Amino acid sequence: MTNEDKGMGKGLLIGLLTGAAVGSVLALLYAPKSGKDMRKLIKTKSQDIIEDTEEYYSNAKEKATQLFRDVKKKSEMLFSDAEEKVDDLLHESEKILADAKEQVISIANAGKQKNEKENQHLKNMLPKSDRHQQS
């Protein structure tokens, strides 16, 4: 049920209670009864309306409390889930960073070895007399 439906239901219930109260008072005022009977009847109806209103208020308060608990529980669950996902992302990013670091070191070492081989190859290509001067 959407908030709009709940609001319409609440308004309908309040309208029904108000209409019942007004209708009861009008019926009592136009009914042919003695003053004493009329006062007694008005008092009884007033008490009934007060009891109904208190019951409605109590139910509304209970539902609001339960709704608050449900919202709090769901928000705690969402926060917990978000916290887990952040931790997972941090762990994954640390793993990616470590892998990237290993790859860079590996590429650098391979480049260094290739450079040393090329240097050695070039030295071997020089005449022997030039080799001793380069060393």
Tokens of 27: 């019926």
- Mind listing the pLDDT tens digit for each residue in 94-126? 999 999 999 999 999 998 999 998 888 888 887
Whether 21 and 49 have beta carbons less than 8 Å apart is answered as yes
Contacts of 134 (CB under 8 A, 6+ apart): 123, 126
- CA 99, distance to chain mean position in Å, is 34
- Mind listing the pLDDT tens digit for each residue in 7-44? 667 777 788 778 887 887 777 677 666 777 777 877 88
Look at residue 129 in the predicted model and tell me its pLDDT: 64
Contacts of 126 (CB under 8 A, 6+ apart): 134
Whose CA is closest to 25, among 44, 12, 6? 44
